[in-house]
Structure 1
Amino acid sequence: MNSDVEVTKNWLEPIVEAFKNNAEVAIMQPKLLDYKQKDYFEYAGAAGGFIDKFGYPYCRGRIFNTLEKDEGQYNDTHSIFWASGACLFVRSYVFKELNGFDESFFAHMEEIDLCWRAKNLGYKIIYTGRSQVYHVGGATLANSNPKKTFLNFRNSLFALVKNAKGNVLFLVFIRLVLDGVAGIKFLVEFKFLHFLAILKAHFSFYKHIFGLFKKRKTITNKIKYYNKTSIVWLYFVNKKKVL
């Protein structure tokens, strides 16, 4: 749990109960609300995370920078793809089996990589809305910091190459195109340092790509890792802000 998380009364009991009643569950996340606007979901994890086919992360309750108001729509217990590192619970034996977090990520998205590896081994990850905490967010790096942009883009590619099934080089090519569009958007918005951060992210990724391929494991789990082909298309083209 991050140091900028405030817990609520009796927040831990639903987590413990869910683990006791679901032996197949390895990782879990509570409802993550914004400390500054307590009736809105928080960016880092909201109501549980997913990724699209090209490795872009999104959440129930948060797609890119659009945050939903908490109106009880996610008070359920639901299977998710990744749990937020802001407040994440993982069984100790699973964490040891996965050899913990990958230190090459440094910060940001290391929990997505951890959860993806767990999924590839057949473990279940859930969100429970019966427990909620408040997250300040941006304690490590603010959204306005280009270093955050660098880590988010680079580490997303790290996780994709390490864990995705199928032809990952094709996925990397698509990401090159889509990330390039994101870079142009930053230029249009006069955010030149963020544009440079995307370039640096790709150069850093290509520098490490052979090492990332060595980390790939034989994936026996046949479950599809994504339920949306392109969250970028849905959000920016179809203007779908809520799933």
Structure 2
Amino acid sequence: MLNKDREKTESKKLKKELDVLNKERRRLNRELSTLKLIISEINSTLNLNRVLDLIIQKGIQIVEAERGSLMLFDHRKEELYIKSSVGLNKRTVSAVRIAPGEGIAGWVFKEGKPLLIKKGAKDPRFKKFEEEEEELKSIISVPLKIKNKVIGVINADDKREGDFFSIGDLNLLSTFANQAAIAIQNAQLHQEVKQQAITDGLTGLYNFRYIKSRLEEEVKRAQRFEHYLALIMADIDD
């Protein structure tokens, strides 16, 4: 009798554990399907600014964050700056300049590791940029990497409904960031190739192909609106 009761208890326990595993599997499948759709949308454009805006918009969407920012590294000034954001005021966006290792985002950039912090404003690495800035309850910061080279950071602040971010959220945003970094690289390469096609490699000035194309556009515009068109050319070799 005792053995039967024990078997019944074990059976219920196993069934409960199996239900939990199946629920987790379904959740992961939903997340992967969502990620696939989002990455497909991001990869549908090669306009760099559009790609960056989509990345931060979709990034905070998948982890249900209140606010977020995408930071890129300025090699000339050797600092991180906010390139695109959601939910941040313009003054904060303009003010934020972070050196590698400074603050939470700077630490993530320097170490190349994702970070999940509960009670973010209490963390010693947290840096406040505005006096009226809200106290952050929870923060996720993940690196944007291309072949082990960190090019920037995605930050997500405060989960909606007052909850804290979880390890699952951290892993999800990290996976997303890996794909997002590739999209950024593709858009940057496209922009470079496009720029090289219309500029002189030596001087950096627009080449004849670009001038001819723009001149044709302006001639058509002048004809359409019946305006005069003037063209000034100067030889600056001397």
- Which bin holds the TM-score, normalised by the shorter protein? under 0.3
In the superposition, the TM-score normalised over structure 1's length comes to 0.23
Q: Which structure would you say has the larger RCO, counting Cα contacts within 8 Å and 6 or more residues apart?
A: 1
More helix by percentage: 2
